[in-house]
Every structure is written in C-alpha cells, then in structure tokens.
C-alpha cells in the first residue's frame, strides 16, 4: 500500500457574511476577497508541508481546482514543477491538470515530461475531467467533455512515448501539426497514469487502459460504490509499469 499526502490549499479567510451573500464560492466570488499576501503565506505553509512529507517518506499529491475558495491550485503544473525540484525522494502525483479544460495537450505533455525529468522519474500523471464550476470558469463545453478527455489523453500519451521525430495530430478536438517534445520523460515508456472518475462508463475505460482508477465520491447519493469493481473487471492490457 502507498500513502499519499495532499492539501488543496483552501482559502478560509473570506468573511462569513460575504460567503452567505454570494451565489457560489466555487466560481463567482470576486477575487478581491483573495489577499495575495495571505495566499503567499498559504502556499509557503503548504509547500513546507509537502517538503516535510518528503523527509518522512510520504508520497505527495497535487490537485487542481479553479476560481474558488476551496482551492488556490488553479495552476497545478506550477506546484508540480516546484515539488519536482524541491522534494528528493517521494513520488509525486499530479491529479491533475484538468485535461479537458486545456486547449493544448501537447503543452501539458511538455510540462509533465519536464517535471518527470526534474524529479528524475518520480512523477505520476493523473487525469481529471473537472466539474461544472471549472467548466464555466475555463470556457469548456460540458457536452463533449468525455470525448475531449480521452482524445487529450491519447495525444499526451503519444507525445510522451513517441521518440522518432515530429508527428502530426488531426483529431476531432485537437490538431497539432508538429509534435516533438523535449525533454522526453525520464520514465519509459511514460510515467504511470491515473484517471479520476465517478461514472461507470469511464471507470470501465480506465480499467481497459490499465490506468490507476481514482474513485470520485460526490456525496452520499452518488452511485459510485461499484466503480472500482467495474474498473477491475474491464479487460486490460499489461500495465505500462
């Protein structure tokens, strides 16, 4: 069993009367209520905790949420980059860049390959579809989110594992005429991949692809209980690592 530490860097300093009056604290609360000095202190504290985990041998996990008080980690790759350099021993899981929100998966592949190299092979890549508030604040169409999700993962995987010069991608959601990332990742063929999901169809696909399944629970009524079983049952190729 592996143990992982995470902190989402919430921002608990907005006055209660402001929170009571706003329609959403996860997308629409004006950022004037975010004091950058307080945010800097929060980041410093949380990153110190991550570094303590490195001393203690506890793996670390960096999430991503956007535009709300529940988490200041809108820019997951930045934290992953810091952790890749500042930690020395433990594994790092990015869970993750919200891949269906990012316009350019090739850039995501570059970020991950770079973090994997800086950390000398300690990166694990998690993919997350994101939810309603994040779709709104990132201008992402919710209807074809799943299509985008898998196409982005396919493109990232190829960008990480293709080493024979530029290739071109003309997909439904992404086109990229010249993909040839440097550096390539430390881990071959690519860092282990995780996928977070709360629906049975995606869980089965996660299993088929041999990715690590992350169960997302959404409250007591969410129909999530059988999901790990579905992921385990799906026929799968050999795990890449």
Partner 1 sequence: MSAGDLVGGIDLEVLRRGAGRPVLLLHGAQTVDPRAPFLEMLGRHAEIIAPSHPGFGRSARPADFETVYDLVHFYLDFLDALPHEKATLMGFSFGGWLAAELAVKCRHRLDGLVLVDAFGIKVSDRETPDILDVFNTSPQEVQRRSWHDPATWAPDLDALSDDELVVRARNWEALCLYGWNPYMYNPQLKRWLRRINVPTLVLWGASDGIVKPSYGRIYSSLIPQARFELIERAGHHPEIEQARAFVDMVVKFLNR
Question: Distance between CA atoms of 74 and 66, rounded to whole angstroms?
Answer: 5
Residue 188's Cβ-side half-sphere holds a number of Cα atoms within 13 Å equal to 3
Mark residues 172-191: x for contact with partner 1 by CB under 8 A, - for none.
Answer: x--x-xx-------------
4 lines the binding site for partner 1 (CB under 8 A): no
* Dihedral sign computed on CA atoms, order 170, 173, 179, 184: negative
Binding to partner 1 by CB under 8 A, coded x per residue (else -) over 106-145, reads ----------------------------------------
Q: Whose CA is closest to 43, among 16, 76, 90?
A: 76
Contact 123, 92 (CB under 8 A): yes
Asked whether position 171 contacts partner 1 by CB under 8 A, the answer is yes
d(C-alpha 74, C-alpha 97), whole Å: 9
Among the residue ranges 71-79, 118-126, 133-141, 166-174, the one whose residues contact partner 1 (CB under 8 A) = 166-174
CB of 107 to partner 1, least distance (A): 15
Residue from 4, 5, 33, 167 binding partner 1 (CB under 8 A) = 167
Whether the upstream peptide bond of residue 193 has omega within 30° of 0, thus cis, is: no
Residue 165 binds partner 1, judged by CB under 8 A = no
Binding site for partner 1 (CB under 8 A): 158, 166-172, 175, 177-178
């Amino acid at each position: 069993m592996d143990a992982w530490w995470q902190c989402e860097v919430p921002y608990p300093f907005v006055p209660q009367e402001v929170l009571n009056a706003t329609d959403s604290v996860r997308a629409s609360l004006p950022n004037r209520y975010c004091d950058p000095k307080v945010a800097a202190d929060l980041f410093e504290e949380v990153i110190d905790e991550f570094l303590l985990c490195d001393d203690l041998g506890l793996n670390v996990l960096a999430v991503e949420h956007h535009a709300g008080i529940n988490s200041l980690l809108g820019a997951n790759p930045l934290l992953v980059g810091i952790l890749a350099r500042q930690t020395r021993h433990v594994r790092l899981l990015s869970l993750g860049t919200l891949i269906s929100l990012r316009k350019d998966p090739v850039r995501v592949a570059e970020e991950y390959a770079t973090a994997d190299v800086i950390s000398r092979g300690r990166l694990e890549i998690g993919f997350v579809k994101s939810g309603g508030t994040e779709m709104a604040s990132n201008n992402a169409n919710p209807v074809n989110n799943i299509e985008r999700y898998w196409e982005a993962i396919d493109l990232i995987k190829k960008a990480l594992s293709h080493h024979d010069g530029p290739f071109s991608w003309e997909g439904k959601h992404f086109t990229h005429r010249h993909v040839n990332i440097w550096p390539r990742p430390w881990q071959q063929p690519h860092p282990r991949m995780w996928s977070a999901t709360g629906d049975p169809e995606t869980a089965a696909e996660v299993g088929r692809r041999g990715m690590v399944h992350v169960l997302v629970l959404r409250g007591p009524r969410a129909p999530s209980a059988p999901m790990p079983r579905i992921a385990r049952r799906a026929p799968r190729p050999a795990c890449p690592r």
